[in-house]
């Protein structure tokens, strides 16, 4: 598999280069070239396959020429010791694809763990070392911290916006220790992302510390996220209907992954981009104008992104053609008040407890159903476990929310982070000090 940069499609690099380099030097984004087309009969065989089985099959199509079958099988099964079950809310009508059964209780485990497994495979055979740098709006940090914790040859630095993520989200990235270091930035997620972007293009810094990214700018986070769309299709086939996915979105990695796997042959009828008031993409769909702007803080904080870094990729998949984009994706956005009402209605109607992001996904599905008269099976991606937003969800539904053991134990652990102002030089100094 080769990868090209969206800024220079003529030049391609190997999987290993794209994996470790994350962002091309021309500041574009890596894209697979060409995307393999999966055999149509593959989709007939997947009903009973797990996420790991499906991941292995697709990985063979992608990397079978570079990595042996045995190694691919081992790394996909190491990456996915959990599944992504499709829960029926209204059988044959509406379902939620639960992506939160991994260690950090959010879908980002899927991308982070596959990427860690692949990096660890290449590091083992090449004896290299890398430093992972990542900005988090909430859940990336935990998934990356846990996915890469104690992986030999890898150090991890995580930047997060001070006071803008939940206590438990913060504990997930500030309590592991070992090879994981958290930087608490006095600013927004966009500030964190800007610092990370600058670090990757700082030649002087990269000469001292070889940096790699685990943000969704790294194409290897997105590739495995396609696996669970396929897993959902496998579980939904029994209804014999076409399928529409609603993806609660911020940086748009998750939705881009769905569109990529659709291009690989997965029969998907339509996608819905569901957002909070950071409605850049729904507004683009409405007007044809893409206007990034500073993010606003919401109760679905993992989607508080004003400059979605995967928009370029998504648009690229539609040849930068607005009409084509709009035919395949609908967009809806919701305020915090609407989200609270949504959580409550979902609970009353289906007896299902949704986190604010998942609620937005389901609300997007419902908004879409009002304007489409035909029959389809609608699947909302459940991106985080509701207990990650326990206080809010409990207040809205008036019931207590159980916290899985692996999250509950974090409350007792002590936080360790390095606090820095929201500017690049401060970060660089601090990083060089901690690493030296």
Ligand X SMILES: *Cc1c(COP(=O)(O)O)cnc(C)c1O
Cα gap 43→230, rounded to integer Å: 8
Cα gap 144→110, rounded to integer Å: 10
Cβ contact 183:409 at 8 Å = no
Nearer to ligand X, 136 or 157 (CB): 136
Report the run of H or E that residue 14 belongs to, with start and end.
Answer: strand 8-14
Contact partners, residue 2, CB within 8 Å, separation at least 6: 12, 13, 14, 15, 32, 33
* Closest distance to ligand X from the beta carbon of 54 (Å): 19
* Closest distance to ligand X from the beta carbon of 92 (Å): 26
* Beta pairing class for 30-33 and 154-161: unpaired
Nearer to ligand X, 209 or 302 (CB): 302
* Closest distance to ligand X from the beta carbon of 134 (Å): 12
Nearer to ligand X, 402 or 429 (CB): 402
Burial class (CB in 10 A: 0-12, 13-18, 19+), 133: buried
Cα gap 426→210, rounded to integer Å: 19
Specify the 3-state DSSP secondary structure of 224. helix
* Closest distance to ligand X from the beta carbon of 84 (Å): 14
Burial class (CB in 10 A: 0-12, 13-18, 19+), 398: exposed
* Closest distance to ligand X from the beta carbon of 140 (Å): 6
Nearer to ligand X, 73 or 139 (CB): 139
* Closest distance to ligand X from the beta carbon of 155 (Å): 23
* Closest distance to ligand X from the beta carbon of 311 (Å): 10
Kindly list the residues in this chain that would bind ligand X in the complex (CB under 6 A): 106, 108, 138-139, 216, 248-254, 302-303, 357, 383-384
Nearer to ligand X, 35 or 280 (CB): 280
Nearer to ligand X, 72 or 302 (CB): 302
Cα gap 222→110, rounded to integer Å: 9
Nearer to ligand X, 179 or 216 (CB): 216
């Amino acid at each position: 598999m080769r990868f090209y940069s969206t800024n220079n499609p003529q030049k391609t690099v190997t999987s290993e280069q794209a994996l470790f380099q994350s962002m091309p030097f021309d500041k574009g984004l890596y894209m697979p070239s060409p995307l393999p087309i999966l055999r149509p009969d593959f989709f007939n065989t997947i009903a009973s396959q797990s996420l790991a089985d499906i991941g292995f099959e697709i990985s063979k199509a992608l990397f079978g020429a570079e990595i042996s079958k045995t190694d691919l099988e081992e790394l996909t099964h190491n990456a996915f010791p959990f599944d992504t079950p499709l829960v029926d809310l209204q059988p044959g009508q509406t379902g939620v694809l639960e992506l939160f059964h991994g260690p950090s209780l959010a879908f980002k485990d899927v991308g982070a763990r596959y990427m860690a497994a692949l990096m660890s495979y290449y590091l083992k055979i090449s004896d290299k070392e890398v430093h992972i740098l990542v900005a988090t709006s909430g859940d990336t940090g935990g998934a990356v911290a846990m996915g890469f914790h104690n992986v030999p040859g890898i150090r991890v630095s995580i930047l997060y916006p001070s006071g803008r993520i939940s206590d438990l989200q913060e504990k997930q990235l500030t309590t592991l220790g070992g090879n994981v270091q958290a930087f608490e930035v006095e600013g927004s997620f966009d500030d964190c992302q800007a610092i990370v972007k600058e670090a990757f293009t700082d030649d002087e810094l990269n000469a001292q510390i070889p940096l790699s990214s685990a943000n969704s700018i790294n194409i290897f986070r997105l590739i495995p996220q396609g696996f669970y769309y396929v897993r959902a299709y496998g579980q939904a086939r029994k209804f014999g209907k076409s399928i529409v996915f609603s993806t609660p979105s911020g940086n748009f990695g998750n939705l881009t992954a769905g569109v990529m796997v659709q291009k690989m042959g997965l029969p998907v009828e339509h996608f819905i981009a569901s957002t909070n008031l950071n409605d850049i993409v729904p507004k683009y769909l409405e007007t044809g104008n893409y206007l990034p702007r500073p993010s606003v803080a919401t109760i679905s904080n993992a989607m508080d992104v004003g400059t979605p870094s995967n928009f370029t990729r998504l648009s690229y998949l539609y040849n930068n053609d607005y009409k084509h984009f709009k035919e395949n994706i609908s967009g809806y956005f919701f305020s915090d008040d609407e989200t609270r009402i949504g959580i409550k209605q979902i609970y009353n109607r289906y007896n299902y407890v949704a986190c604010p992001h998942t609620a937005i996904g389901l609300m997007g599905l419902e908004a879409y159903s009002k304007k489409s008269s035909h029959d389809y099976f609608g699947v909302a991606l459940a991106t985080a476990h509701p207990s990650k937003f326990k206080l809010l969800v409990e207040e809205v539904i008036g019931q207590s929310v159980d916290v899985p053991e692996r999250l509950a134990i974090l409350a007792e652990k002590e936080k360790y982070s390095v606090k820095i102002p929201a500017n690049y030089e401060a970060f660089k100094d601090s990083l060089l000090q901690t690493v030296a």
